[in-house]
């Protein structure tokens, strides 16, 4: 819940030239609902895609204050974030509700970014158990053929927020490998799903995360509220294997 529409306009106009030559990875931003129209206007012919931070699980109708998937399509969105830990905490969102949102996002041709992650710091086995359970419940009603369209964002809750620090790269790699394992085809090949890491990502922590085989991208939060910092993190991706750098504002 950052940046007014006026502030977002300045942000996009500053960011765009800083990353205009980056073609090696997918860049996208997730501004508040009130600024998505600004993203469409300012980024429409750029290399930066945009999306939303949430969506209602049903079609347009009597749901005052909510935003439906067709509205996001009309605004040119590509991505929709679903299940962020703050939505789970502040609005009591369950994995079942998150699953309904994912299906709605897919139904309208958008790409869901499914956020998963454990609340408390602990051994990697605990993190994997929590994440796999969240994935199983959230995707239970999603057709197998559609699951490859989902981007999974691993965000350990204990690594998010003021004063927190990024998870150890080996911990992140182990959890990402487990997530990829959930989407692996019977012959052992990795599916199309992309797994990105979020949680105190900045220019210092990003290089050690980017070198990990199963880290396909980064989900950047408060560090990217400064467009120059976001651009620096994006540049760290150039030449790396990972696919995405995104900012949820």
Active-site hit among 42, 81, 84, 171: 84
Q: Please answer whether residues 29 and 39 qualify as being in contact, where contact means their C-beta atoms are separated by less than 8 angstroms.
A: yes
Instruction: Output the CA–CA distances (angstroms, integers) from residue 101 to 96, 97, 118, 249, in the order listed.
Output: 9, 6, 20, 20
What are the φ/ψ torsions at residue 187 (nearest 5 degrees)?
A: -85, 5
Is residue 84 among the annotated active site residues?
yes
- Give, as one character, the DSSP assignment of residue 166: P
CA atoms of 25 and 234, how far apart (whole Å): 8
Active-site hit among 81, 93, 118, 155: 155
Buried b / exposed e over 76-100, threshold 16 CB at 10 Å, is: bbebbbbbbbbbbeeeebebebbbb
Residue appearing with tokens 């408390």: 120
Residues recognised as catalytic? 84, 155
């Amino acid at each position: 819940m950052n940046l007014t529409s006026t502030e977002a306009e300045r942000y996009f106009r500053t960011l765009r030239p800083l990353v205009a030559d980056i073609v090696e990875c997918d860049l996208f931003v997730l501004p508040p609902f009130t600024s998505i129209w600004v993203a469409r206007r300012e980024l429409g012919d750029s290399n930066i895609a945009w999306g939303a931070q949430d969506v209602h699980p049903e079609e347009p109708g009597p749901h005052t204050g909510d935003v439906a998937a067709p509205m996001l399509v009309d605004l040119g969105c590509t991505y929709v974030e679903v299940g962020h830990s703050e939505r789970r905490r502040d609005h009591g969102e369950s994995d079942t509700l998150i699953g309904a949102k994912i299906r709605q996002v897919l139904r309208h041709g958008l790409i869901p970014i499914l956020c998963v992650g454990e609340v408390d710091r602990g051994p990697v086995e605990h993190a994997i158990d929590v994440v796999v359970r969240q994935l199983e419940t959230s995707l239970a009603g999603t057709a197998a053929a559609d699951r490859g369209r989902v981007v999974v964002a691993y965000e350990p809750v204990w690594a998010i927020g003021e004063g927190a620090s990024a998870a150890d790269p080996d911990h992140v790699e182990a959890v990402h490998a487990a997530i990829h394992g959930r989407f692996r085809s019977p012959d052992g090949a990795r599916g199309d799903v992309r797994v990105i890491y979020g949680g105190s990502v900045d220019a210092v922590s990003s290089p050690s995360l980017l070198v990990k085989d199963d880290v396909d991208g980064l989900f950047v939060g408060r560090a990217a509220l400064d467009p120059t910092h976001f651009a620096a993190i994006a540049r760290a991706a150039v030449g790396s294997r990972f696919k995405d750098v995104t900012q949820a504002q």
